[in-house]
Amino acid sequence: MRKPSRRSFLTGGATLGLASLAGCTAPSIETRKAETRVVSPDGFDSLEVRNRNGTITIEPWAQNDVEVQVVKRGFVTEDLDSVRVDIGGDESLTVERVVRGDDPEPVVVELEIRVPSAFPVSHASTSNGSVDIQRTAGDLEVQTTNGDIDVQRVDGFVDATASNGSVSARGVGGLDGVRTTNGSIAVDVFSIRSDTSIETSNGEIDAALAGDLDAELVAQTSTESIDVSGLSLADASISRTHVDGTLGDGGPTLTALTSNGRIELSLLGE
């Protein structure tokens, strides 16, 4: 049975540690506060993490609870105190940066989270920071601006969007799409379930495709070249900057597109 809605945020039961320079407000000296909070995922469907101006790291561990390590960094103690991280939600257990009043942009919030291996992670987003997610369960949506995305060995379908950063998604169950600007893309494509784009500008694309993938393939680059020498394509049209053809029995369209970069499409495992 599902537990009742838990809209109130969980703030108690925290293990708190502080590492700060007391009374120091000089703009050239960094102040730091850290805390660790442990909460139960019971009654929630999945984990969502929503940060701003900071990194996100998520990985599994052998415990039944969710552990959230929060590090806040800035140059004014009062700014650190105006930023908090709330944990709670309704259907999803949500870890979210919340600001009292005006957002002090110089405050960086780093989130390191450990989850039970079977508890799905469904969403992670931030700005001005990277996202690193390893070995989690369930379909995953990842977003960042001004940062890289690294997703490894997630057993569900992954959708990743970055700006001014590279994206890597290796060993994932499937791909719903990958997009970035000013960054490279490196992905494994075991499966797609609808039309799927791997798209960047000012970056290279390196995609390893499963041998049993059924899809219509389209690849296009403006200034560099495309290498599909390891693939078996039916009804193929191949030039230096454009490729289209059928993989396996055909199916949804898999598109690889870049403006200024080469594209390498290889067979997974080679």
Q: What is the pLDDT of residues 88-123, one digit of tens each?
A: 999 999 999 987 766 556 899 999 999 999 999 999
- SS3 assignment, position 181: coil
Partner residues linked to 57 by β-bridges: 112, 132
Query: Beta strand 140-145 with 157-161: parallel, antiparallel or unpaired?
Result: parallel
What is the overall mean pLDDT for the chain? 90
Tell me how far apart the alpha carbons of residues 54 and 27 are, in angstroms, rounded to a whole number.
19
Output helix, strand, coil percentages for the chain, rounded to the nearest 5. 0, 55, 45
Amino acid at 43: G
Beta strand spans in 66-195 (E): 66-74, 83-88, 92-99, 108-116, 121-127, 131-134, 140-145, 149-152, 157-161, 167-170, 174-179, 185-189
Instruction: Give the model confidence (pLDDT) of 179-207 as tens digits.
Output: 999 999 999 999 999 999 999 999 999 99
- Note whether 138 and 157 are within 8 A (CB): no
C-beta separation of 93 from 39 below 8 A = yes
**pLDDT value at residue 162:** 98
How large is the average pLDDT for residues 18-30? 47
pTM: 0.88
Tokens linked to 156: 């569900």
Statement: residue 6 has pLDDT above 90: no
User: Residue 253 corresponds to which tokens in the numbers above?
Assistant: 């369209």
**Which distant-in-sequence residues (6+ apart) come within 8 Å of 239 by Cβ?**
none
pLDDT exceeds 80 at position 41? yes
Q: Do strands 242-247 and 121-127 pair parallel, antiparallel, or not at all (unpaired)?
A: unpaired
Whether 2 has a pLDDT exceeding 50, the answer reads no
Cα–Cα distance, 30 to 142 (Å, whole number): 29
Query: What is the Cα–Cα distance from 8 to 113, expressed in whole angstroms?
Result: 20
Q: Other C-beta atoms within 10 Å of 148: how many?
A: 19
User: Percent of the chain scored above 90 by pLDDT?
Assistant: 80
CA 131 to centroid of chain Cα atoms: 5
Q: What is the pLDDT of residue 269?
A: 85
How far is residue 30 CA from its own chain's centroid? 28
C-alpha closest to that of 153 among 177, 166, 170, 174 = 170
**In the chain, where are the structural domains located?**
1-121, 139-270
Lowest mean pLDDT among 11-20, 28-37, 219-228: 11-20
44 band by pLDDT with thresholds 50, 70 and 90: very high
Task: Look at residue 82 in the predicted model and tell me its pLDDT.
Answer: 86
pLDDT tens digit string along 126-164?
A: 999 999 999 999 999 999 999 999 999 999 999 999 999
